[in-house]
Amino acid sequence: TMSSDDEGGEEYLFKIVIIGDSAVGKSNLLSRYARNEFNAHSKATIGVEFQTQNMEIEGKEVKAQIWDTAGQERFRAVTSAYYRGAVGALVVYDISRRSTFESVGRWLDELKTHSDTTVARMLVGNKCDLESIRAVSVEEGKALAETEGLFFMETSALDSTNVKTAFEMVIRDIYTNVS
């Protein structure tokens, strides 16, 4: 977390990471939030490390620096540098693929191992537009989030459901923790 005071206005910079199994929609959640874009054929993200999104809270300028994996999660090798300094995390699964929900515990463990501060965490069940092939119920998502002490939200990067809300809830929670 960084906070600077110039010309009377405070500025905050929060690092937020997006984690979860391959193809759950991490990159599309970020592109939907930061650029209002969706890519039906996205391959592993190449090049882009993070995107910065600005928000105003209580008259303060808040910059969320949101990190996306470059596809390393396929090799179970997300590095400690990825997590370093993160104060927020979205842990994403795909509601149509049960195995991605079963991986959540492992991602939470990895996050715990690599983060030294209090991290604002949200469990995100993405692809809620795929209701007809749902493999994880809303109740199961909620229950896991409650057990682990996380926020919970189902989203769709495809039709935009709750994407902005999910990111902003995490950002507001971080702000509350530091202000």
Smallest CA-to-CA distance from 82 within 71, 96, 93, 94 is with: 71
Q: Which of 27, 53, 100, 156 binds Mg ion (CB under 5 A)?
A: 27
Within residues 45-64, the interface with Mg ion by CB under 5 A covers 45
Region binding ligand GDP by CB under 6 A among candidate stretches 7-15, 18-26, 77-85, 115-123: 18-26
Q: How far is the CB of 92 from ligand GDP (least distance, A)?
A: 7
Q: What is the DSSP letter of 73?
A: G
Map residues 149-178 to x or -, x wherever contact with ligand GDP holds by CB under 6 A: -------xxx--------------------
Residue number, 45 or 51, with CB nearest to Mg ion: 45
28 binds ligand GDP (CB under 6 A): yes
- β-strand pairing of 88-94 with 2-6: unpaired
Task: Give bridge partners of residue 121 from the DSSP assignment.
Answer: 89
> SS3 of 11, please?
strand
126 binds Mg ion (CB under 5 A): no
Residue number, 62 or 90, with CB nearest to Mg ion: 90
* Helix or strand (DSSP H, E) at 179: none
Helix orientation angle between 163-178 and 26-35, rounded to the nearest 10 degrees = 80
Region binding Mg ion by CB under 5 A among candidate stretches 11-19, 39-47, 105-113, 166-174: 39-47
Question: Is the alpha carbon torsion for 105, 107, 111, 114 positive or negative?
Answer: positive
Region binding ligand GDP by CB under 6 A among candidate stretches 39-47, 80-88, 105-113, 115-123: 39-47
Region binding ligand GDP by CB under 6 A among candidate stretches 21-29, 53-61, 80-88, 110-118: 21-29
Residue 41 burial by Cβ neighbours in a 10 Å radius (0-12, 13-18, 19+): exposed
Task: Judge contact between 124 and 92, C-beta under 8 A.
Answer: yes
31 binds Mg ion (CB under 5 A): no
Spatial separation of the C-alpha atoms in residues 58 and 102, rounded to whole Å:
38
**Residues of the shown chain interacting with ligand GDP in the complex, contacts defined by CB under 6 A:** 22-28, 39-40, 42, 126-127, 129-130, 156-158
